[in-house]
Amino acid sequence: MSPTKNIGVILGRLQPFHAGHVILIDHACEENDEIVIAIGSPQNGHVISLDTDPLDFEERAHRVALYMHEYHPTYTRYRIVSVPDINDMRYWPSHLKRMCLIGRTQKAHFYTGEKLPETYAKGMRDGGYIIRHIPRGSFEHTTPDGVTHMIACATDIRALHRDRGFPI
């Protein structure tokens, strides 16, 4: 029997891809055998509103891939997947595992920057996830306007890494 793999799951709409997502990805890369960056609400790009959904799935996935290529070039054990919305939250944990292709012999770690509501957290734990809460305070200071600051270019990412003491 093969050893259990630790899989880090980062779920977000990534509208936009911001400093909070970067820090979750960095933690997951350090702590897991492989990671899955799950982009939620893929159907919402440009459809609902350019204010709330300015990027389509491909644009969001491209930004994540660029970040991984530049800042984790040797970490090749990652996947970027699309996770369509579902209406029944009771099935959300199993839906997420299915979309992320997480098998029974893999241990799933769910990374979040926000404290999950207890009913949601219980569902995730019951669904086999280990919740890794990275407190929001650990990355709010990295950008002038907080977590919602969009990492739109390499200089924004470099500033984030310089602030966290990473080589750039």
Enumerate the β-bridge partners of residue 9: 36, 110
The C-alpha atoms of residue 134 and residue 118 are separated, in whole angstroms, by: 16
The pLDDT tens digits for 3-56 are: 788 999 999 888 878 778 888 998 999 999 999 999 988 776 555 555 666 778
CA nearest neighbour of 96 among 104, 86, 107: 86
Least confident among 47-51, 73-77, 96-100, 103-107: 47-51
User: What's the predicted TM-score (pTM) here?
Assistant: 0.76
**How far is C-alpha 151 from the chain's CA centre?**
14
Least confident among 10-24, 40-54, 72-86, 107-121: 40-54
Q: Which residue has the higher pLDDT, 146 or 53?
A: 53
Q: Give ∠ CA 70-29-161 in degrees, rounded to 5.
A: 50
